[in-house]
A and B are shown apart, each in its own frame.
Chain A
Amino acid sequence: MITASLIGLPLVFGLLLLFVKGEGAKRIALVASLLELALAGFAYFTLYNDPSSDLLATSVPWITSIGADFHVSIDGISILLVLLTSFLVPIIILSGFEKKTENPALFHALILFMQMALIGVFTSRDAFLFYIFWELALIPIWFICLIWGTGENRGTITFKFFVYTLFGSLLMLAALIFVYLHTDVGNGLHSFDILAMYKAGQSLDLTQQSFVFWGLFLAFAIKMPVFPFHTWQPDTYVSAPTQGTMLLSGIMLKMGTYGLLIWLLPMTPLALDRWGMTVVVLSVISIIYASCMALVQKDYKRLIAYSSIAHVGLIAAGILANTTSHISVEGISGALLQMLSHGINVVGLFFIADILMNRTGTRDLDKLGGIRNVSPQFAVLFLIVLLGSVALPLTNGFVGEFLLLNGVYQYNTTLAVFAGLTVILGAVYMLRSYQSIMLGESNAVTSSFGALTSNEKTILVLICAAVLIFGVFPKPLLSIAQQDIEILVKTIVPINP
């Protein structure tokens, strides 16, 4: 019931917004997203008190002709992503409060539709429903990037983004149909139910599993993105409006990592043994390549875009660095935790890039400098978000990255060494950017920077609080997921290998 309401609430408010005119739309959208956050909090406590509560699941027949149900539920794993989504969306909406947006009602309606689809992706327990939500998430963000983006050739850029991701999802659809046709729920009928799909996937032989594995992996790899499927990402992130970039990087790419964990691993264990090394190597290449690219960027937004590829590469490596004979629970916990931390930190960084752009009119690292002298508050808050991103101990990034590297280490020592470079390189490009933006003498561009507005302060303080609180005290997040991760791990290991 709660889960269905979590999906329904943004949808209802989104539709409502279509009939609203003027700036009031922003406030309505904010109220809607705060209600959603409260509901997500309620879901967390319900799950905490009684993990098998009926309140958390809804299952009604949907398309009986193909055996697809509207089956959504929240467990210890999906609650984390639901919390992330419902925490970030209000922040994203709030971040646009002081800017003038053309046609705000439509813009915020699209954000809420997007939220609905994202929550749907994270809670679906039916493969077909999952696919529908997956596609549904694409349309609003495409319109957001196309209509409110910047840059003359954004038509081409967003189009590339759309076709790239659509290509991935069609492959995923083909793979899912393939598995679906091997399910059997009696009377020769098939079902898209997640457990039936797991069972059918595991019953396939290696060749068939490999087909499914690559179909799904490509879809997820494009979404995250992982090298060499990342070429759409930097351009799209830069040309999208800031709020769109936040949605893309903060929440949407988690669809890919979540998909790896929930749909790929348990459905194709044999293929994981066969192809695991290949994809982990791809992820590690992704880490190093993106870190090096980030080192040489001049545009701050583009730098963050590349850093995002590096971070998500480590998450992917942590999830995929498993075999049926050894599955690292720590690695998976780390991946989940890092999905959250990365979401929060990257949204903070993009917000900072937006502040810079609004105040100085440029994001060029060479032109900025000395902002610390002008706005010390900004300097402190920026530093906290940045350190979270660099994974300094006692920030949220640390716990996740530590667990992830530990997971990769257990899988393959050499790869772990290369993956570990992310920590060093990350520190280099992040601190270098801080140095050229904040330190030094203030120049003509930055001297008029001024103090932060209360709105900006609120957002940055909220993000910094999240960075510090979950850095010092990650237990509430880790412990709620613990049991379900163990259940998932048991599913991956086939009973008769």
Chain B
Amino acid sequence: MSDSILTLEGVYTNIAQYHILQGVDLVVPRGGVTMLLGRNGVGKTTTLRTVIGHWRAHQGRILFDGEDITKMPTPAIARLGLGFVPEDMGIFADLTVEENMTLAAVSGPINSGRLDWIFTAFPPLKTFWKSDAGTLSGGQKQMLSIARAMVEERKLYLIDEPTKGLAPAIISTMAKALKDLKNQGSSVLLVEQNFAVAKALGDSANVMDDGRMIWAGEMDELSRDAALQERLMGLSMETH
């Protein structure tokens, strides 16, 4: 399938004795933002972590850009062109903002044009360029986490709840940056609980429950149908 950048086929992932993913099927099209939705604890984060190789699929297959990455080590998967923004942001607190960014530029020095774009999207990063990342606020850390993934062009960005616990003003900064990324033609797989953000950014949507994919379709279709949301996610997200 040439139009999909990432495909999961019947993926099962166990964490200790818990069977978290129980046959996940997911197709992420090339270009645009694909939403991964669902209630808490249904396996969204585990799905992303299985793709990047932090958890291992016990069964099933994961294809990235036509290549089977199911058993590949994490660094090799990342180098194929995957940018990962984990739920806990994964900031290196003991390193400065600059060092965090330098490290993220795996293939060499940071491209200055790209850095300008990042500074425009996230001005605080320029202000605190030489500061320890550990001293940043929660929102600034999240900006750094996303900026780190954006510092080099990737084929696919896996972003886990970028607006979690952030103030509304910062959420809109975040949403705008993600929109920029989308307008550049990047592919993004986004886990997001904020439905307004999901609605504004998402092209297609996938809903999980109990370690399986229970619905896949256009984001528009889901956001227009409150009854469907209620059925899939147990509550109408419009009220949130």
**Chains A and B bind each other:** no
CB within 8 Å of B: which residues of A?
Answer: none
